[in-house]
Amino acid sequence: MIHKQTGEKFLNEVLIIGAGPAGSVAAAMLVQKGYRVLVLEKQLFPRFSVGESLLAQSLGLIEQAGMLEAVQAAGFQYKNGAAFAHNGRYSTFNFAEKSSPGFGYTYQVPRGEFDHLLIKEAARMGAEVRFEVEIIAADFSGERPRITARGKDGSEELHQPRFVLDASGFGRVLPRLLGLESPSPFPTRSALFTQVYDGIPSGAFDRQKIRVTTHPKFRDVWFWLIPFSNGKASIGVVARDEFLQQYPGSNEDRLWALHREDPELSALLANAKPALPVGELRGYAANVSRMWGPGYALLGNAAEFLDPVFSSGVTIAMKSANMAAGLLDRQFRGETVDWEAEFAAPLKLGVETFRGFVEGWYDGSLQDVIYYPRQDPKIRRTICSVLAGYAWDTSNPYVGRAKQRLHTLAQLCRQGEAQADSAS
């Protein structure tokens, strides 16, 4: 509450750790409800972040945060779905075909620009945002949280807000400081990624979709290609960590060696020129033992990260921010909020739906469904809904029961394939 050097008082009601999509959406929603909000961000924006492909559901959350016009005016690459490719087989899902109500399109965004735009919008609405201030300690044992932050010059300040939202992403500030981290059930996967001037000839590929390519030999290895509106694209490969580590040389050598293993993808990228150095993230899946406690809640990646295959990260981050802002408003108005029943449990419904899809992707069942050419149109629409991010729509039979249903559906698809083969 009092700056150790200047004596300045900090009277904010909500302190948000991190200015990524979760932090910005929470800040914007809370200031619009009339609360004093302070966002403290460790880095200077714009900063690089991986995770450039959004889902259609995120636009509804952006709209509710009052940022839709700014996002629509920014000139990002329009995205209307996802394309999957494996050994000459293709399958595309157009978000407009989804069964759930809501937006049927979204954007592919360089995250440095996108995240900066969102936090500038939150600041324009009245949130106080300070960059290059890092949260280093947290104590929730007293009546009010005590949060210590350190500025770039090394000075420390103590904040005593009424509530803390941890939106620190992979920084996982409160899980680390409060010992809430728990192992992810997923095997350790890693990613190599970069941005390129893609040089893809016009018409060679649909820039309005993310392209997910399954490796020709290994079905649990996959590549993303996410085109932007500025002639650049984000590319990357995901595999089990031990698989990726077999490839020798620099990150550049390893990324391109893997791309050369898929002839179609490497033909598409034949003219690509580097726009950024190749980065590597190892073992990013994360989990926590609890998503809230007295005086705090964990948003987005600070709580859990599943896997990038269905581009669900930003949508989950924004959904958690949207839910927490609504609950905090009620709590500040004097209502009793059951954070387990009203935040953790309903948020997990969507996260578990995505988890079922991720598990189905890696065990092959969802890939059998996706690449099956004679899919029932009604079933396709419900699968398309989850792929578009509507993972909380309880009218969709795949929501909350994705894994079992995908396995049953995959069996039917395999039988259909076998029958078609024997008839031909």
Ligand X SMILES: Cc1cc2nc3c(=O)[nH]c(=O)nc-3n(C[C@H](O)[C@H](O)[C@H](O)COP(=O)(O)OP(=O)(O)OC[C@H]3O[C@@H](n4cnc5c(N)ncnc54)[C@H](O)[C@@H]3O)c2cc1C
Residues that bind ligand X (CB under 6 A): 17-23, 40-43, 49-54, 134-135, 167-171, 173, 191, 193, 236, 281, 284, 300-302, 305, 308, 311, 313-315, 317
Q: Sign (positive/negative) of CA torsion 349, 354, 357, 362?
A: negative
- Region of 34 on the Ramachandran plot (φ > 0 left; ψ -120 to 50 alpha; else beta): left
CB nearer to ligand X: give 40 or 180: 40
Q: Tell me the closest approach of the beta carbon of residue 44 to ligand X, in angstroms.
A: 9
Of 22 and 200, CB closest to ligand X = 22
Q: How far is the CB of 11 from ligand X (least distance, A)?
A: 20
Burial class for 370, CB neighbours closer than 10 Å (0-12, 13-18, 19+): buried
Instruction: Give the 3-state secondary structure of residue 251.
Output: helix
Nearer to ligand X, 227 or 236 (CB): 236
Which of 315, 353 has the CB closer to ligand X? 315
Shortest Å, Cβ 226 to ligand X:
6
Cα 288 from Cα 302, distance rounded (Å): 9
**Residue matched to tokens 């993310």:** 210
Supply angle C-alpha 263, 191, 304, rounded to 5: 140
Tell me how far, at minimum, the Cβ of 246 lies from ligand X, in Å: 19
Q: Which is nearer to ligand X, 55 or 406 (CB)?
A: 55
How far apart are alpha carbons 74 and 117 in whole angstroms?
A: 9
Residue 164 bridge partners (DSSP): 15, 296
Question: What's the gap between Cα 3 and its chain centre?
Answer: 34
Q: Min. distance of Cβ 299 from ligand X in angstroms? A: 6
For residues 348 and 290, what is the distance between their CA atoms, to the nearest angstrom? 11
Those residues with Cβ within 8 angstroms of residue 155's Cβ, 6 or more apart along the chain or in another chain: 3, 4, 5
Q: How far is CA 204 from the centre of its chain?
A: 28
**Closer residue to ligand X in complex, CB, 53/375:** 53
Q: What is the C-alpha separation between 19 and 209, in angstroms, rounded?
A: 27
- As measured in angstroms, the least distance from the Cβ of 418 to ligand X is 34
Least distance to ligand X, CB of residue 281, Å: 5
CB of 392 to ligand X, least distance (A): 15
Nearer to ligand X, 109 or 409 (CB): 109
Three-state DSSP at 257 gives helix
Which CB sits closer to ligand X, 269 or 302? 302
